[in-house]
Amino acid sequence: MLDESAINSRLHQMQVEADPELIWDETCEGSARALVIFVGPSPGGDKPVERRPMNKSCSRALWNESFDKPRWWSPGFRVSWKPLVEAIFAAPYDTAGRLIGRANMDWLGDPKSEDVATQHMVEGAPSVLKMIQDCSPELVLPMDAHTFGVLKTALNDGFIITDCNANNFTIRISDAEKERFHRHLYAFHAKSKSPTGRSFLVIKLPQHPAKMFQADYATRCGEAVREAARQIGAGQPVDVTKV
């Protein structure tokens, strides 16, 4: 899971093969060979006055290019994104940034992720599933609990879902309040029902990147996700402490 051979294989593929020129809907962007896909409920920003249809087939997937846009989004993303991604891959962003993607379930913005309507997320789910199919990631990371639940339901038709449990999953939230911790792992393994399909692991991020305002906190979250993913991939009980 996210080992050196998998990372090098995809980087080499993008160096020697032609760009497949994948085109996604407006909810999806990032590397065509993403090993890790982050999934959010919706874009941030102001809530629209009225809804509009999703823009289809308008986002070109990157090929051997770093996906840098999230580094300049909200204040939380500007602090957290780089250390979070680097910790998940245990690699510098110049490398890891070429192997990530971002998808949103809803295509219209909302400043509060918890307020995004489930109906709109369900409507956008097929675009996210198409990106997952195209990229064949090892790890999919919903950014909040709402997205985790909607994505799990959306995967039920085409995948066998197996929940993953943890003996211990402890992450200190901040330096100022050392008694606050994340203590629950939300994860499942999705195995394609198709004989030629792929499988991947889904782990909910301990916190939405927009709400991580300390780089050290983002690093702890990324390291915890990486360790949990590797332990699950090796068939071991999850035992992760980041304090």
Domain boundaries, the chain: 4-242
Mean pLDDT score of the chain: 94
* CA separation for the pair 201, 141 (Å, rounded): 9
Give the pair of three-digit tokens for residue 129: 């599933």
Q: Can you give the pTM of this predicted structure?
A: 0.95
What CATH number does the domain located at 4-242 have? 3.40.470
Chunk the chain into consecutive blocks of 10 residues (it has 243) and report each block's average pLDDT, rounded to whole numbers: 96 98 97 98 78 95 97 94 98 98 92 84 97 98 96 96 94 81 96 90 97 95 98 95 94
Whether the Cβ atoms of residue 24 and residue 130 lie closer than 8 Å to each other = yes
pLDDT of residue 177: 67
Note the pLDDT tens digit of each residue in 117-143: 999 999 999 999 999 999 999 999 999
The CA-to-CA distance between both ends of the chain, in Å, stands at 23
- The three-point CA angle 186-152-21 to 5° equals 110
* CA separation for the pair 232, 64 (Å, rounded): 29
* CA separation for the pair 23, 136 (Å, rounded): 15
